Amino acid sequence: MTSTYVATAGEREKRGGKKPDLVESDRMRAENSLGRKLVVPAIVVMLIVTAFPMLRALYLSLFTYSLTAPEDREFVGLSNYLTALTDPLFWRDTGVTVLYMLVTVAVELVIGFAFAMVMHRVIFARGVIRTSILIPYGIITVVSGFAWQFAFSYQNGFVNGWLPFLDSDFNWFGESTPAIIAIMISEIWKTTPFMSLLLLAGLAQVSEDMLEAAQVDGATWWQRLWKVILPNMRAAIMVAVLFRALDAYRIFDNIAVMTAGAVNTESISFLTYRQTIEQFQLGIGSALSVLLFLSVLLIAWLIVKLFKVDLAAARQEG
């Protein structure tokens, strides 16, 4: 499938390439300037909220600076980074965050793929399925967090009653492991539809001819899945994984609502939030912000490199 992408992209290049030959350079210059004028507002809005605060975070991260004791502000160089990187809490939270990311993305990929297969096949009630699958996607994450928190509550929930191997007063949020599981379930429930829709788009691009040919050749269902469907969906899968992994790494809402970071369920985003917004430690908080940003970049880079996702190719295809 990737090769198809590239081919179409190539065609487009060619088509686009013809233009300059046909028109005089004045027209080109006008187009160039109009193009820039049209994108300027978008660039400005995107930069106000990202570039400037990020630069400010870089600057503040070199100080000890607490809003509640502003006169104690002091330049400390890189020592905030040193503190963070040598701190067990930072690494514990990073570990927990990576765990959230790996588990939720893996589970979502499997369930999302199954859903996509069903949606691809189904010929009846498409509207109903589409509507219901969009509800978790559209629902507020905070609401999803509440719904699951109450569902797991032993006082007012139903989960303990439905799971025969649990005591009716089992406290899901009293310990780390069950609390993390509960948070993951809320996260998975809310985001699987997104995953399945991305995969559905990928499935639609797998050629039916190839599948039929494989069936004629006597390939089992399993073989067709692994040899035909999945390889042909690689681009879609990788884009979905990239998006969701980066999203999952930034997990915040569910944790804030369900445990507020208690019993070691805190993610790196939540740690950063607590430092800057709750503790008013703008210095170390900014250092954490920068580290969080770098780790997101690192993950994006890893996924792109490891799985050779060709985003540019995927883009041009649109």
Partner 1 sequence: MRKVGTLLGTLLILVWCLLPVAWIISLSFKSQTAITNGSPGFFPSGGDGAGWQNYKDVLDNEQFRRAIFNSIGISLIATLLSVIVATLAAYAIARLEFRGKKFVLTMALAIAMFPVVSLVGPLFDMWRTFGLYDTWPGLIIPYMSFTLPLAIWTLSAFFREIPWELEQAAQVDGATPWQAFRKVIVPLAAPGVFTAAILTFFFAWNDFVFGISLTSTESARPIPAALSFFVGADPFNRPASLLAAGAVVSTIPIIIIVLIFQRKIVAGLTSGAVKG
Partner 2 sequence: MTQPSYATAPGARRRRRGRGLAAVAIGVLAAGLLSACSGDSGKPVLNWYVNPDGVTTLTELAKQCSTDDYDIEIQLLPSGATDQRTQLARRLAAKDGSTDLMSLDPVFVAEFANAGWLEPLPEDVAATATDEDVLEGAADTVTWDDKVYAFPQWANTQVLWYRKSLAEAGGLDMAKPVTWEQVIDAAAEGGGTVGVQANKYEAYVVWINALVQGAGGNIITDNEAGKDASVDIDSEAGAAAATVIQKLARSEAAQPDLTTSNEGTSLGLMFGDSPGEFMTNWTFVYKNYEGLIESGDITQEDFDDLGWARYPATVEGEESKPPIGGIDIGVGAYSKHRDFALEAGECVTTSEAQVQLAVNEGLMPARASAYDAPELTEAYPADLLELFRTSIDSGGPRPKSAYYATISAALQSVWHSPRSVDPDKTPGESAKFLKDVLEGKALL
Interaction between residue 154 and partner 1 (CB under 8 A):
yes
Interaction between residue 314 and partner 1 (CB under 8 A):
yes
Counting Cα atoms < 13 Å in the Cβ hemisphere of 114 gives: 6
Rounded distance between C-alpha atoms, residue 210 and residue 232, angstroms: 10
Rounded distance between C-alpha atoms, residue 185 and residue 149, angstroms: 10
Residue 260, CA distances (Å) to 110, 154, 184, 265, 266 in order: 29, 18, 14, 8, 8
Interaction between residue 198 and partner 1 (CB under 8 A):
yes
Interaction between residue 294 and partner 2 (CB under 8 A):
no
Residue 103, CA distances (Å) to 97, 184, 207 in order: 10, 8, 31
Residues numbered 44-103 forming contacts with partner 1, rule: CB under 8 A: 45-46, 48-50, 52-54, 56-57, 60
Per-residue HEC secondary structure of 95-155 comes to: HHHHHHHHHHHHHHHHHHHHHHHHHHHCCCCHHHHHHHHHHHHHCCHHHHHHHHHHHHCCC
Q: How far is the CB of 254 from partner 2 (least distance, A)?
A: 17
**Interface region with partner 2, contact rule CB under 8 A, candidates 21-29, 68-76, 104-112, 205-213:** 68-76
What are 55's two structure tokens?
């630069």
Task: Compare residues 169 and 217 and give the one whose CB is closer to partner 1.
Answer: 169
Q: How far is the CB of 79 from partner 1 (least distance, A)?
A: 18
Interaction between residue 261 and partner 1 (CB under 8 A):
no
Task: Compare residues 34 and 260 and give the one whose CB is closer to partner 2.
Answer: 260
Interaction between residue 263 and partner 2 (CB under 8 A):
yes
Q: Which x/- pattern over 155-174 shows residues binding partner 2 (rule: CB under 8 A)?
A: --------------x-x-xx
Q: How far is the CB of 217 from partner 2 (least distance, A)?
A: 59
* Alpha helices in 175-273, H assignment, sequence order: 176-204, 208-216, 221-223, 230-232, 234-249, 253-258, 268-273
Interaction between residue 163 and partner 1 (CB under 8 A):
no
Q: How far is the CB of 46 from partner 2 (least distance, A)?
A: 25
Interaction between residue 84 and partner 2 (CB under 8 A):
yes
From partner 1, partner 2, none, interface partner of 87 (C-beta below 5 to 8 A by class): partner 2
Task: Compare residues 86 and 156 and give the one whose CB is closer to partner 1.
Answer: 156
From partner 2, partner 1, none, interface partner of 301 (C-beta below 5 to 8 A by class): none
Rounded distance between C-alpha atoms, residue 190 and residue 201, angstroms: 19
Rounded distance between C-alpha atoms, residue 18 and residue 22, angstroms: 7
- Residue 47: which H helix or E strand, with range? helix 25-60
Q: Which listed residue (252, 261, 263, 264) binds partner 1 by CB under 8 A?
A: 252
CB neighbour list of residue 90: distance below 8 Å, 6 or more residues apart: 84, 268, 271, 288, 291
The residues that touch partner 2, with contacts defined as CB under 8 A, are 64, 67-70, 80, 83-84, 87, 89-90, 154, 169, 171, 173-175, 260, 262-263, 271, 274-275, 277-280, 283-284, 288
